[in-house]
């Protein structure tokens, strides 16, 4: 077994870290307050090659893998979770196009993402269909040569910024099998009937765009179907097997960033006549936090590396995602504790990291859903 990153992977990680260290700190707090990220920063990141590295070279990507994508996201989240999230969501859903799109669809849409000229999103969640995605009721009817979509999606990344968005929708409501009723359809957001309502005041990662979407008689060509009609649910599961792997890197990055902040603080803060770092209880906390981060990192890299070698293991991916989310929440909690009251004030970065962490146990499958996936693979279905 080889647990080492290649020279190229180490270089990518280092370059991502240098970019984030240079660009993020000066604007992170302002982006969180204004709830937006300057487009020129996203464009700059894309031009430097940090967006969609897993997209094949034929479609403008670097032709690398999910491990390289994860390394970049880890470093971005380490410096600022909100900016890291916005960079991640630029290509969110492109995996679906790569896996199931036609040649024309890939050529038309993917190069615009890696050049930073377009943003996308993947809209699955609805008011009455969250963890139970197969209950999605947004309807798409094939009328003549067009799909006509009606419905409501909630909490969608890039909902108000995306140039095009994938909609998980109901195309075959009469199919007796619940898992054969849905499809994935691409909607260009300038199509009449598409409306987005940006959500303001999220608990954390406020810099990243999230919106509710309303589709009212949105008419798109029938060629905008991605993959096979009625196979949307299976395509969605294939997407989650990939997205959950690199979302684990969000947790690793956030936890490492929180640990970095805690180390800096305990090495400078003096109480009872000595640095906090001199108390053995502090040393034990730092040791435990660092160990948790390393464990989460190891599993994250493993599942990403497996995907890049063509091995899809939904159970391990779910383990990585659940563990990384839990690690982030636990490590940031301890990191804030080590800051004392200062950590509770919003002029200290740890407060922003603390608010950001919780989402990692909710989106891309809640921690309970991850455990359902894991247990089902171990025990079978009951």
Q: Is 256 in the site for ligand FAD (CB under 6 A)?
A: no
Q: Is 122 in the site for ligand FAD (CB under 6 A)?
A: yes
- b/e 2-14 (16+ beta carbons within 10 angstroms → b): eeebeeebeebbe
Q: Which is nearer to ligand FAD, 123 or 316 (CB)?
A: 123
Closest CA to 167 of 193, 201, 202, 198: 193
Q: Is 130 in the site for ligand FAD (CB under 6 A)?
A: yes
- Please list the active-site residues: 364
Residue 15's Cβ-count burial label (10 Å; 0-12, 13-18, 19+) is middle
Among 84, 101, 157, 232, binds ligand FAD (CB under 6 A): 157
Q: Is 282 in the site for ligand FAD (CB under 6 A)?
A: no
Between 181 and 220, how does the x/- string for binding to ligand FAD read (CB under 6 A)?
A: ---------------------x-------x----------
Q: Which is nearer to ligand FAD, 161 or 220 (CB)?
A: 161
19, 24, 169, 180 from 75: Cα distances, Å: 9, 11, 34, 39
Q: Which residue has the tokens 């609805």?
A: 126
Q: Which is nearer to ligand FAD, 88 or 259 (CB)?
A: 88
Q: For ligand FAD, which stretch binds (CB under 6 A), given 5-13, 177-185, 304-312, 355-363? A: 355-363
Q: Which residues pair with 142 in a beta bridge?
A: 147
Q: For ligand FAD, which stretch binds (CB under 6 A), given 51-59, 154-162, 180-188, 253-261? A: 154-162
- What tokens appear for 238 in the block? 């294939």
Q: What is the DSSP letter of 27?
A: T
Give the Cα separation of 152 and 70 in Å (integer): 31
Among 86, 91, 114, 125, binds ligand FAD (CB under 6 A): 125
Residues that bind ligand FAD (CB under 6 A): 121-125, 130-131, 155-157, 202, 210, 359, 362-363, 366, 368-369
């Amino acid at each position: 077994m080889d647990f080492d990153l290649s020279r190229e992977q180490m270089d990518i990680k280092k370059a991502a870290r240098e970019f984030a260290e240079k660009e993020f700190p000066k604007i992170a707090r302002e982006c969180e307050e204004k709830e937006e990220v300057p487009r020129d920063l996203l464009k700059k990141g894309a031009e430097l090659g940090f967006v969609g590295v897993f997209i094949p070279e034929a479609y403008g990507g670097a032709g690398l893998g999910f491990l390289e994508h994860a390394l970049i996201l880890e470093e971005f989240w380490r410096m600022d979770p909100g900016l890291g999230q916005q960079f991640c969501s630029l290509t969110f859903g492109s995996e679906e196009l790569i896996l199931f799109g036609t040649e024309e669809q890939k050529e038309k849409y993917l190069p615009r993402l890696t050049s930073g000229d377009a943003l996308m999103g993947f809209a699955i969640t609805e008011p009455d269909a969250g963890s139970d995605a197969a209950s999605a009721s947004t309807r798409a009817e094939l009328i003549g040569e067009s799909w006509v979509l009606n419905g409501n999606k909630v909490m969608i990344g890039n909902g108000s910024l995306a140039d095009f968005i994938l909609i998980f929708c109901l195309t075959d409501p009469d199919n007796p099998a619940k898992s054969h009723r849905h499809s994935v359809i691409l909607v260009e957001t300038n199509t009449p009937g598409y409306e987005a309502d940006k959500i303001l005041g999220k608990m954390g990662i406020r810099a990243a765009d999230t919106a509710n979407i309303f589709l009212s008689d949105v008419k798109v060509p029938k060629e905008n179907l991605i993959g096979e009609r009625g196979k949307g649910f299976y395509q969605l599961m294939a997407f989650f097997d990939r997205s959950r792997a690199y979302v684990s890197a969000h947790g690793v990055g956030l936890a490492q960033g929180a640990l970095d902040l805690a180390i800096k603080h305990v090495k400078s803060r003096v109480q009872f006549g000595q640095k906090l770092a001199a108390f053995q209880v502090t040393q034990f906390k730092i040791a435990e936090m660092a160990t948790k981060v390393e464990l989460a990192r190891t599993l994250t890299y493993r599942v990403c590396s497996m995907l890049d070698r063509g091995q899809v293991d939904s159970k391990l991916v779910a383990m990585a995602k659940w563990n990384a989310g839990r690690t982030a929440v636990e490590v940031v909690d301890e990191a804030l504790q080590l800051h004392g009251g200062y950590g509770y004030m919003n002029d200290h970065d740890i407060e922003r990291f603390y608010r950001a962490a919780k989402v990692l146990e909710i989106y891309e499958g809640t921690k309970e859903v991850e455990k359902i996936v894991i247990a089902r693979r171990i025990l079978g279905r009951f």
